[in-house]
Amino acid sequence: MRWCPLVYLWLFLSATSGCSSSSNDEDDDSDRDGIADGLDNCPLVLNVDLADIDSDGLGDVCDDCQAFSLIEDLWDGVGYGDPGQLTSLGDNLYFTASDSESGRELWVFDPSAGVSRQTDINPVAASSDPFQLTVAAGKLFFRAGDGVNGNELWMFDPNNTSAGAVLVADINPGPGYSWLNELTCLDGALFFWATDDLHGNDLWSYDIASGTTLSIDINPGPADSRPRVLTVLDERLYFWAEDELHGRELRAYAPSTGPILIADINPFGSSNGTDSELMPLDGSLYLEADDGVHGTELWVYNPAIGAAMVAEIAHGSDSNWLLNLIAMDGQLYFWAYDESHSLALWEYDPEAGASLLYSPPGWLNGGWGYLTGLDGKLYFTAEQRVYGNELWVLDASDPTSGPNLAADIYPGINSSRPGDINVFFWRTLFYSVQQSLW
């Protein structure tokens, strides 16, 4: 097996198995830590706090199983491969990374074969900078530049690796860049926003079967409509976009209707200037919007009944700030500000409404972000004086127990600053940290 150089690949497993501990009489206290052996998750090793970071029932101080394991150190020394754009296809994990031979290109982690570089789109040590890795029709689509055509739409077929990556659409012909972004699959086509001289920054589609492209000009002519946050719900594409008449509002596209205005939430101007998340849940679309009266709050759009505000967290016309809106187990979770708690973690139940889930204590000093749900637990980044900025975990069913440090990647007060946290195959949590992949 040949290992290609210049990228770190790390893996965080959500659970481990195959570990065992010695049995003792339940009333004994073999390690004399004040905890009877029958209740002690490490009966032979002193561990007063019973810490068990991987929740496998065996205390950390005597656990041979590692919650965090290095798959392969592909760069001898302290160099960075800077992995990103983590995307699963089949049983493999594709990502972008850099090496000294080819610059930034497309790589793959195959659990059975290890790590290898898949493409060299822009040769002679220049980077093609693959971006927006997106799976559609069993293939991988992304934006990249070969040094000739600018940054345009490319395709990689894992069933035909000998062909390498292929340019499939040149939106802005020649060396100019189209800056296409937010590749989103719907009904056999890829939708994205891109820029050319004729249409400005607008919505486009690429038909995967025929290979044809189509401009969907929301704001006619070269004026920009700036479609953002492309999101699929029930065979329609939803997004924020603007025109001169309505400002920036929620819109939708389907082949049968074309682009349409879904809701003019703020009749006095734009209801969303931050391109916040659009989160599908149980046939509805949840979003952050400002109607010009209540400030920025949580709204819902249902195709049958329209748009409505569902939670006013910061009362009055003061704008709230909702961050990292995610769905897990039929509920929404997000960071938000209110008058009493500053930034706190909230939950929204479609039946019971919004409620405060967890208000971080003073010893967590900020740096909140990258909220991700996995198996009833919420993972996020936070700053703390002892550990720096690291990955934390909170049990959503028992928030009063408080968050636990999931990983101190850069030990001590140093910060690893985890980011790009995603859940992929095997119910496994992958994330990039300090230009490495865990």
Question: Residue 24: what pLDDT?
Answer: 41
Residue 63, Cβ neighbours under 10 Å: how many? Answer: 21
Q: How far apart are CA 326 and CA 345, in angstroms?
A: 12
| Residue 101: per-residue pLDDT | 79
**CA 126 centroid distance within chain:** 28
pTM: 0.76
Q: Tell me what pLDDT residue 7 has.
A: 29
For residue 252, what are its two tokens? 């939708």
Contacts of 319 (CB under 8 A, 6+ apart): 290, 295, 296
Count the neighbouring beta carbons within 10 Å of the beta carbon of residue 225: 24
Is the torsion defined by CA of 237, 238, 242, 244 positive or negative?
Answer: positive
Residues ≥6 apart with Cβ < 8 Å to 415: 367, 383, 388, 389, 390
In which element (H, E) is residue 388 found?
Answer: strand 388-395
* Residue pointed to by tokens 């970071």: 53
Q: What is the pLDDT of residues 351-380, one digit of tens each?
A: 999 999 998 876 566 667 778 888 899 988
Report whether 243 contacts 218 (CB < 8 A): yes
Residue spans of the chain under pLDDT 70? 1-27, 30-31, 44, 46, 48, 52-57, 60-80, 124-125, 273, 316-320, 362-367, 418-438
